[in-house]
Each structure stands twice: as structure tokens, then as C-alpha cells.
A and B are shown apart, each in its own frame.
Chain A
Amino acid sequence: GQQVMQIPQYQHVQEGEDFTTYCNSSTTLSNIQWYKQRPGGHPVFLIQLVKSGEVKKQKRLTFQFGEAKKNSSLHITATQTTDVGTYFCAGEMGNFNKFYFGSGTKLNVKP
């Protein structure tokens, strides 16, 4: 069964509002990655989190990795229309060279 759950499936926001997507794993992750896929495009790597409780920021994006390394979140402050796309988390379990992707959160930003 699916090992990495991601919510919400869709999010519609007004430009300037904040956005958050959450990922949860049934097992402890060695690391978690976040990707963005624009409509019609392929996933593009955003960031990787490795340490328990890690927080990383990229401009208006804040990524968190839970203390138990089973959950993660991506928060976007003051969304812009350029943020439109689907955001995926991908968890790696152990060192098995494979990732389990969440189902993605599709973000739509109204100007």
C-alpha cells in the first residue's frame, strides 16, 4: 500500500495567501525530498531534508522535517501566481536507492 500520504489533494488560494502541504509516512524516513511539477512539465527538485526536526527556507518557502522523521511540511508565504503547480514529497526509507512519492498537492493561485 501507499507508504507516503500527502494532503490536501488540491488547494485554491488567492494571491497573497499562505499555503501548506503535509506529508506523513507510516515508517521512519532516512530523508525526504520535495519536488515541484508545473502543468505539463516534469518534477523539479526543490530540497532535501535529512536531520530530525530540520527546517530549511528558500525565499518564501519553508520546509520542515518532523522530530520522528515520519512527517514533513512545505509552507509558502504570500503565494504568487508563479507558485502554481503540483508539489510532491518523496521519502527514502533506509538506503535502498528508491523513493516513495506522495500523491501531490495541486496548488492554484488566483490573481
Chain B
Amino acid sequence: SQTIHQWPATLVQPVGSPLSLECTVEGTSNPNLYWYRQAAGRGLQLLFYSVGIGQISSEVPQNLSASRPQDRQFILSSKKLLLSDSGFYLCAWRLAGGGRTQYFGPGTRLLVL
């Protein structure tokens, strides 16, 4: 069966510090991978998605970046965090080629102070 992992679960970082959030998927090959951000009490905003290794599509301009160094690894990064980067970051995967369901990871709660 497939599983998706995210870490860390929670993170408190000072403004201006770097960020690295990791997401890994097990039990499937060549998945579509997604990073979403959810502000408190709000909906999900698509940040990045990837259909293959090294292929990243960005949805919104921001100081975040994403990378996919391996087939089942998706990393969200920032060189300098802003207060507005606080939120709940969710990674999701979906079968390539028209699979239906997006499976979400447990998420990382980031608080930038």
C-alpha cells in the first residue's frame, strides 16, 4: 500500500531563517506531487506541483521554491522566511495519467516569529 510522509510535524522559525520541508511517498512510482499551503481557517492554496523528477511548476510568485531530486521525494524550501509564510503545509500525491484521488500527508505546521 502507498504511504506519504512529511516532516517535521511542527516547526517554529524566526523571520529571515531558511526552511526545508520534506515529503516522501512509498509504494508507488512516478506520482504527481503537490505542495499546498493552508492559512489558519482558510482553504488550500496550490504552491507547486511536479509530474516528474526535476520538473516543477509554480502556481504563485513567492519566496518559496520546490525541488524533486528523486522520484518520490518532494522538498519545499525558502532562503529567508517571512511572517506571512506561517501556515499548514500539505504535501499530496496522485497517480500519474489521470488517477483520481489526491492523497494528503499529515502536514507540517509552520509558525514564523
1/0 per residue, CB under 8 A from B, across A26-51: the answer is 00000101010000001111001000
Q: Could you say which residues of chain B place their CB within 8 Å of the CB of A106?
A: 41
Which of B13-21, B42-50, B71-79 lies at the interface with chain A? B42-50
Q: By the criterion of a CB under 8 Å from any partner CB, how many residues of chain B are at the interface?
A: 24
Q: B49 contacts A97, CB within 8 Å?
A: yes
- Is the contact region of chain B dominated by helix, strand, or loop, or is it mixed? strand
Known: A33-B102, A45-B103. A101 touches B44 (CB 8 A): yes
Q: A103 contacts B43, CB within 8 Å?
A: yes
Which B residues, 46 to 61, have Cβ-Cβ distances below 8 Å to chain A?
Answer: 46, 49, 51, 57, 59
B48 closest partner in A (C-beta): A98
Which A residues, 57 to 102, have Cβ-Cβ distances below 8 Å to chain B?
Answer: 88, 90, 95, 97-102
Bound-state CA distance A45–B34 (Å) is 15
